[in-house]
Amino acid sequence: MLAGLACSSPEVAVRVSIPGADAVEAPVPNLPLVFLPYDRDSIIAALEARAPTPRPNARTLDSLFEKFRAPFEAYADAEGRAGKLRDSLEGIKRHLDSLPRNAPEYKTEYLRFSAGFDSLKALEKVRDQRQQELDKARTRLGPKIDSLRTAMRQWESTTYHGYDSLTAQLAKSRGRAPIADTTGADGRARLRLIGKPWWIYARSWDAQDPNQEWYWNVPVTRDSLVLDRQNGKRRPRY
Amino acid sequence: MRLRRCSLLLLLPLALGREAHTQTPSTNPADLLLEARSKGSATAPVTVYEMSDFQCPYCRRQAVETFPELERRYIATGKVRWVFINFPLTQIHANAAAAAEFAMCSAKAGMFWPIHDLLFKYQDKWAPLKDPAPFLLSLADSARMGRDAVMPCLTTGEMRAVVRSDADGAARSGAGSTPTFYIEGGLLEGAAPLADFVGILDSIYNAKVTRKQ
C-alpha cells in the first residue's frame, strides 16, 4: 500500500541535562520546551535598550541571594548526605530481614546497620540545625527580597509591555506559531519542525540554588540538540 | 488510507491569496498565480490542494503514476479542481526551493503544468546537482517557452516570497510531509494509491452532488 509513503523533514531530538543537587549531571524530566520561530533574546534586548531606566535592584538582590546561598548549600549538603545514608541503611535492613538471626553474616551486618544508624541520627541533627539556620536566613532576607522583586516585576511589566504583540507579529509574519513540548522521563523530546529558523527556549530550576535558574534560548541548527550547562545560562531568578 | 480532519481556515491564506506573511508581495490572488497552477473547472464540486515538493520522490511517484489517471477521471470530467501548493522541504531537499521558484516563474509565463511535468520527469537529473539553475533553465527550452520568459522573474526572485507563503500555509494547515492533500476539510498524507483517491473523491463528489439536488 502506497499510503503513508512521504517525504518529511527530519525529527529534531532534544535532550536536557543539568547538574542535580549532588552536582552530578542528570536528565531533566517533564521540562516544558518551547520552540519559537524567532530569537526571543534579541527582542528582549531591544526592549531593554529602549527602557528609560536600567533594571532596578539587581545588585542588591544578587547580594541578598549570595547571603542566602551559604545556609541553603549547607542545608542541602547535610540533607543530601543524610538521604544517601538513609538509602544505604534501607539496603542493609532489607538484607538483614532476609537473613536468619543465627547466620554468621547477620551479626556483622547488624553492626554495620547500627553504626550507620548512629551516623544518620548525628547527621539528621546537623541537618536540623542547618534547616533552622536556613529558616532564620529566609525570615531575615525573605521580606526584603520579596519587596525588591515586586519593584523589579513592575519594571519588567513596563519594559516588556510590547513583547507579546511583537512576538505575535513575528510568528504571523513567519507563518509559524510557537510549538510547546515537554521532556519525557528520560529528559528527551522529539518533534518535527517545518521551515526555519527555530529557537528552543526552556527554563529549569537550579537544584543547587533556589534563587538561580538554568535558561536556554538555543537556535535549532541540527537534528540533535543537547541543552546543558555548556549552552545554558545560569542566571538569577529575580 | 488516512484522511485527517483539518480546517480550511488554516489553508485559506494560501488558497485565497490572503497575506500570509509580511514578505508576501501582494494580497491579490491573481499575484499568487493560483489559476495558473490549477487544473479543472473553477466550479467543480470538489477541490483538492496538493502540497508537494518537486524534489520529493514520493511526490514524483504521485505526479507520474497517479495524477494522470486522476486527471482523466476527475479533472477532465469537471468533478474536481486541482490546485498545486508548494511545500519544499528545504531541510532535506537542497534544490526543492529553487525548483518551486522556477515552477512559479513558469506559472507567471502560463507554463506551470508543462514545467511541473518536466521537473518531476527529470527529478533524478537536477536533484543531486550542486547548482541546478542551468539544468532548470534547460527545461524552459524543453517546454518551448524559452529562457527569456522566466529569466526576469528568476533574477528578481519575486516568486521566493510566494513559495515561502505557500509553504507556511501548508505547514499551518497541518501538513508535515509531502505529498499531502487537502480534500474538502480532510488531510490525506503520503503518496496514496489511485484506489484511495477514487474512494475519497467519489464519496465526496457523490455527497456534494446529492446534497445539491
Q: Do A176 and B1 touch (CB under 8 A)?
A: no
Task: Tell me the pLDDT band of B3, cut-offs 50, 70 and 90.
Answer: low
Cα maximum dimension of chain A:
80
Confidence of residue B16 (pLDDT cuts 50, 70, 90): very low
List the single residue in A3, A9, A177 with the smallest CB-CB distance to B89: A9
Q: Do A4 and B189 meet the contact criterion of CB atoms below 8 Å apart?
A: yes
Mean pLDDT, rounded, for B18-33:
47
Minimum CA–CA partner of B176 in chain A: A8
Q: Does B100 contact chain A (CB < 8 Å)?
A: no
The pLDDT value recorded for residue A8 is 87
Residue of B nearest to A174 (CA): B21
Q: Which one of B1, B168, B175 has the shortest CB-CB distance to A175? A: B168
Task: Evaluate whether B173 touches B9 at the Cβ level (below 8 Å).
Answer: no
Candidates B68, B74, B69; CA nearest to B41 is B74
Amino acid in position A160: Y
Whether B88 and chain A come into contact, CB under 8 Å, resolves to no
If you average pLDDT over residues B132-157, what whole number do you get? 93
Average pLDDT over residues B50-79: 96
Share of chain B above pLDDT 70, in %: 85
Per residue in A12-65, pLDDT tens? Answer: 999 999 998 778 899 999 999 999 999 999 999 999 999 999 998 899 999 999
Instruction: Tell me what the mean pLDDT of segment B152-163 comes to.
Output: 92
Residue B93 to chain A, least CA–CA distance (Å): 9
B193 in contact with A, Cβ within 8 Å: yes
Confidence of residue B30 (pLDDT cuts 50, 70, 90): low
pLDDT band at B20 (very low <50, low <70, confident <90, very high): very low
Task: With a cut of 70, say whether residue B22 has pLDDT above it.
Answer: no
- Tell me: pLDDT of B194 over 50: yes
- Which residue on chain B is closest to A220 by alpha carbon? B91
Q: Closest-CA residue in chain B for A197?
A: B91
B178: cell is 509531502
Instruction: Tell me how close the Cα of B113 comes to any Cα of chain A, in angstroms.
Output: 22
DSSP string, A8-19: EPPEEEEEEEEE
What is the model's pLDDT at position B26? 47
pLDDT for A157-200, tens place per residue? 999 999 999 999 998 887 778 889 999 999 999 988 877 789 99
pLDDT of B6 reads: 53
pLDDT at B17: 37
Whether the CB-CB separation of A37 and A179 falls below 8 Å is answered with no
Residues 6+ apart with CB under 8 A from B12: B18
* pLDDT of B11 higher than 70: no
Contact B171 A176 (CB under 8 A): yes
- pTM of model > 0.90: no
* pLDDT band of B92, cuts 50, 70, 90: confident
Which tens digit of pLDDT belongs to each residue from A202-237? 999 898 888 899 999 999 998 899 999 999 999 998
Mean pLDDT of the B28-47 span = 86
Number of inter-chain CB pairs under 8 A, A vs B: 85
